[in-house]
Chains A and B, each alone.
Chain A
């Protein structure tokens, strides 16, 4: 138990049933995550980041479904776990924070009712105790006047406050793992920075593992210990955050970093040419091939995993036949 990581995802596949047969949403996603660590899952929209999150939670709705692979959480296999068992984990051992705080809280129920019901779903306590916990957890995430907020409806709170409420709900049962699906994307930059700092502190304090999904590399840089880059339903490169950002070896990662505004003012941004493939139009072999500046005939076959940095001990891994060439070029 102590040796195996808290969360180990292996060759996870998810597909979307369509009239013309199933489409691959996730094509063999593997990563692992341990207590007190933050893994950022980075990629463009449609790359399968959210699908990964919902697959882990067992919340993929038909016509989408998990088609194979394994998700081991604290020694238990989650793929194929009975819904009742899964429900006992959700919101309790694995919590989730959604992207848009305007949409995640039920508009017709008070904040208090929604926190209290989450307490009662997993803890054998009375209403008064549940309410006390609700107030405490709101205070913990920096919601001012928690007692009064309990009686508020979501529309009476700002977006930043609502996201704090969602984070508070995630923290209720001291989960082992929090899956956060772009939780700061919809917020102002200042509030985003605040929340990132506080989340980081909470994770360190409680030893929670955090899977943070984002399309924003700069968020990943601030928050994450490790980064996994997703493209077209696969992880294409993973490694320690600092090393991966300083020395990207997959052409896609390099492209993402080059398209970030950084360094001197007025320095040129280099966008990645083309668009990410649609679910139905994913190329065989390396899916990034059509947009890649250094692609060759070898890329038509599925690229193997390689060590990211030759000689690096824990430099991560990359899925490219010619790693590092784009960066050098």
Chain B
């Protein structure tokens, strides 16, 4: 178990290294941050002074080495624009993105799994056909368009829900959270629904396919032949058997929601990491971009670790290679 975690962490380190290299090279090609930082009427001396302040006068490879040296000490540099540590800027925005993503995912898992179970257990009924047709729509509509339509419908026309900002927040452990206040929840509703729609469709289709596959398997029939309650047959025997692909997709979707929530955050003016990223790219604020990407890579790794752990809990046959249990008789499976 531990060697496996270490191996994963080492791999994550390599990914971070490669990613930072790419960002440095890419942003260097994209433009010179000094052009943006200095006023248009600044003279050469002023330009040189500013470049020196941020270390931008040195060759790129030296800048990179310096960055690495500081990074291992936990310092990812200061934002060119905000003149604050880049990492703290990112972490400041993290809770907003996190609560949005988690809420969207909870909605997606809750609706997706229950609708998928229904559609899988009663495939021929009208509601099931409607659910499946709806899922195609959910998968194919572009997120930004759905977001705009949600704003038009619920904010502009009906005026039920606010369309931008986080609303009231409540501080817990020094972090502001929207989901702890009613107003915050109202602000969360539209962006979370927007993010969740595609995932509901994805998870429900996956769940339905899994149910269709296992419902005729002998062990599900045997569970019924033992006289177990339907809730137990479905909730334990069927659901556990189909959870692995669902957990995988939920994990992947969680990562991509956090990393790429820019569209939704832009539409709903949600002050999360996605907005920060877009703003930073526009002004070539390299430290913030790097810090953001490092945070995202680490998040991906952590979520994947968690998913792998969950596999082991869900299915004992997915054991680490050194587990003695697998060595005994009955290795046919």
Number of interface residues of B (CB under 8 A): 32
A-B complex: 10 closest residue pairs judged by Cβ atoms: A91-B227, A91-B226, A90-B227, A103-B218, A158-B329, A96-B225, A104-B222, A106-B219, A153-B316, A118-B226
Query: Restricting to B210-249, which residues have a CB under 8 Å from any CB of A?
Result: 216-219, 221-230, 232, 236-237, 240-241
B314 at interface by CB-CB < 8 Å = yes
A74 vs B240: C-alpha distance when bound (angstroms) = 36
What sequence of 0s and 1s flags, for each residue 45-70 of chain A, a beta carbon within 8 Å of any chain B beta carbon?
00000000000010101100000000
Query: Which A residues form the contact surface with B (CB < 8 A)?
Result: 57, 59, 61-62, 87-92, 95-96, 98-100, 102-109, 117-118, 121-122, 152-159, 161-162, 166, 169
Contact check, A155 vs B330: say whether CB atoms are below 8 A apart: yes
A-B contacts besides A121-B226, A153-B325, 15 pairs, CB < 8 Å:
A87-B227, A90-B224, A103-B217, A104-B222, A108-B240, A108-B317, A117-B236, A121-B227, A121-B228, A153-B316, A155-B326, A155-B333, A156-B329, A158-B330, A159-B330
Residue of A nearest to B223 (CB): A106
Known: A107-B333, A155-B333, A157-B330. A117 touches B228 (CB 8 A): yes
Known: A103-B218, A106-B219, A155-B330. A59 touches B225 (CB 8 A): yes
Q: In angstroms, how far is the closest chain A Cβ from the Cβ of B297?
A: 32
Query: Which B residues form the contact surface with A (CB < 8 A)?
Result: 124, 216-219, 221-230, 232, 236-237, 240-241, 314-317, 325-326, 328-333
Contact check, A105 vs B236: say whether CB atoms are below 8 A apart: no
A52 vs B236: C-alpha distance when bound (angstroms) = 28
Contact check, B226 vs A156: say whether CB atoms are below 8 A apart: no
For A152, list chain B residues within 8 Å (CB): 325
Partner of A91, one of B225, B230, B326: B225
Residue of A nearest to B123 (CB): A62
List 19 interface pairs A-B (beta carbons < 8 Å), by A numbering.
A62-B124, A91-B225, A91-B226, A100-B218, A102-B330, A103-B217, A103-B218, A103-B219, A104-B218, A104-B219, A106-B223, A106-B237, A107-B316, A108-B315, A155-B316, A155-B330, A156-B326, A157-B329, A162-B330
For B229, list chain A residues within 8 Å (CB): 87, 121
For A99, list chain B residues within 8 Å (CB): 218
Q: In angstroms, how far is the closest chain A Cβ from the Cβ of B143?
A: 35
A195 vs B316: C-alpha distance when bound (angstroms) = 28
For A98, list chain B residues within 8 Å (CB): 218, 221-222, 225
Contact check, B222 vs A61: say whether CB atoms are below 8 A apart: no
A105 vs B241: C-alpha distance when bound (angstroms) = 12
Contact check, B218 vs A107: say whether CB atoms are below 8 A apart: no
A61 vs B329: C-alpha distance when bound (angstroms) = 33
Q: In angstroms, how far is the closest chain B Cβ from the Cβ of A148?
A: 11
A47 vs B223: C-alpha distance when bound (angstroms) = 25
Residue of B nearest to A173 (CB): B227
Partner of A107, one of B236, B317, B331: B317
